[in-house]
């Protein structure tokens, strides 16, 4: 959506006070924490604690924009065959779609070779390709039909919609910079929990919406939300949403020792001054006791 169109639509909805509720839980109770263009605000939902932009965008408009308008450089621009060949030869190392750190984190979380991974929001398939090369069994989903078609044709991605995916069949539900785009964060989390096996992991990388980062880097934090990112996730939202699951929240630079602590306490939150937030949640096993914090 162009900036002028976005502004005009937001202005119209702002004047009529439509689409001001939380897109995740539907609550009308909110606190304004930031503002842009006079007619758009970032709000803290006082019920589910999500940070969301208001006025919100109808789901049908959001889906339509991802078919032809949404563009974020490397991560959305399908490369030409000769360029793709060069990327594959170096296994995408050093580019904006390099998944080597994500794979390192999966290893640190003791996800074994052959584990079944659902790559939610795979774009044109660069991450799916790297995950498969690393030894995981990967199914993928991408809402953009052109990018999904490219992933299937040129990178052998196995595309499976969430509706067609077998419930309780995945070891990992992975999303890399997707949750900030979806119409409903709660609906995406529900999808993840439905598709994961008991004990499976929801692994998410997203812009860091934390208040601590906002205080340290107010200009950069302010730039993270808007038309492209209609919501931000932070530890406040995650701790409110996951009250009994094993949870690890921190920067995506956590080392192997820090990753190995996952599951030793119900919730572990590391200080995070980076612009990227990493979180892993474990779907509970049947009758599994929840670890009790040692402090």
Identify whether 241 is part of a domain: yes
Which pLDDT does position 287 carry in this prediction? 55
pLDDT > 50? residue 290:
no
> What's the pLDDT tens digit per position in 24-51?
999 999 999 999 988 899 999 999 999 9
Q: Is 37 left (phi over 0), alpha (psi -120 to 50) or beta?
A: left
Q: Are the C-beta atoms of 103 and 131 separated by less than 8 Å?
A: yes
Identify whether 40 is part of a domain: no
Cα angle, residue 150 at apex, residues 188 and 166 outer, rounded to 5°: 40
Identify whether 28 is part of a domain: no
Identify whether 187 is part of a domain: yes
Secondary element (H or E) of residue 187? helix 185-195
> Quick one: average pLDDT of 222-229?
92
C-alpha dihedral sign at 164, 168, 169, 172: positive
Identify whether 12 is part of a domain: no
Identify whether 195 is part of a domain: yes
Closest listed residue to residue 266, CA positions, set 237, 241, 246: 246
How many H helices and E strands in the chain? 11, 11
Identify whether 42 is part of a domain: no
pLDDT > 60? residue 233:
yes
pLDDT > 90? residue 2:
no
Q: What percent of the chain has pLDDT over 70?
A: 92
CATH number at residue 231: 3.40.50.150
Which pLDDT does position 11 carry in this prediction? 66
> What's the pLDDT tens digit per position in 88-126?
999 999 999 999 999 999 999 999 999 999 999 999 999
> What's the pLDDT tens digit per position in 202-214?
999 999 999 999 9
- Tally the domains of the chain: 1
> Quick one: average pLDDT of 144-164?
97
Q: Could you list the residue range(s) of the whole structural domain that residue 192 is in?
A: 78-282
Identify whether 295 is part of a domain: no
pLDDT band for position 289 (50/70/90)?
Answer: very low
pTM: 0.92
Closest listed residue to residue 248, CA positions, set 258, 237, 233: 258
């Amino acid at each position: 959506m162009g900036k002028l169109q976005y502004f005009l639509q937001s202005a119209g909805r702002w004047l009529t006070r439509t689409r001001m509720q939380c897109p995740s839980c539907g609550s009308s109770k909110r606190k304004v924490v930031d503002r842009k263009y006079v007619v758009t605000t970032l709000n803290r939902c006082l019920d589910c604690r999500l940070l969301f932009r208001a006025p919100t965008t109808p789901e049908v408009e959001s889906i339509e924009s991802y078919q032809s308008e949404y563009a974020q450089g490397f991560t959305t621009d399908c490369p030409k065959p000769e360029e793709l060949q060069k990327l594959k030869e170096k296994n995408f190392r050093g580019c904006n779609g390099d998944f080597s750190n994500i794979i390192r984190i999966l290893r640190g979380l003791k996800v074994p070779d052959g584990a079944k991974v659902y790559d939610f929001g795979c774009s044109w398939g660069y991450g799916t390709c790297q995950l498969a090369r690393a030894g995981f069994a990967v199914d993928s989903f991408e809402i953009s039909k052109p990018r999904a078609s490219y992933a299937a044709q040129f990178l052998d991605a196995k595309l499976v919609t969430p509706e067609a995916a077998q419930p309780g069949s995945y070891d990992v539900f992975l999303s890399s910079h997707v949750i900030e785009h979806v119409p409903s964060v709660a609906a995406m989390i529900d999808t993840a929990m439905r598709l994961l096996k008991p004990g499976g992991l929801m692994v998410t990388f997203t812009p860091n919406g934390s208040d601590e980062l906002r205080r340290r880097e107010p200009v950069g934090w302010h730039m993270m939300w808007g038309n492209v990112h209609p919501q931000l996730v932070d530890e406040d939202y995650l701790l409110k949403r996951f009250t009994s699951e094993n949870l690890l929240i921190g920067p995506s630079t956590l080392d192997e020792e820090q990753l190995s602590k996952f599951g030793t306490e119900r919730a572990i939150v590391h200080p995070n001054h980076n612009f990227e937030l990493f979180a892993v949640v474990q779907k509970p096993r049947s009758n599994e006791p929840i670890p009790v914090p040692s402090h």
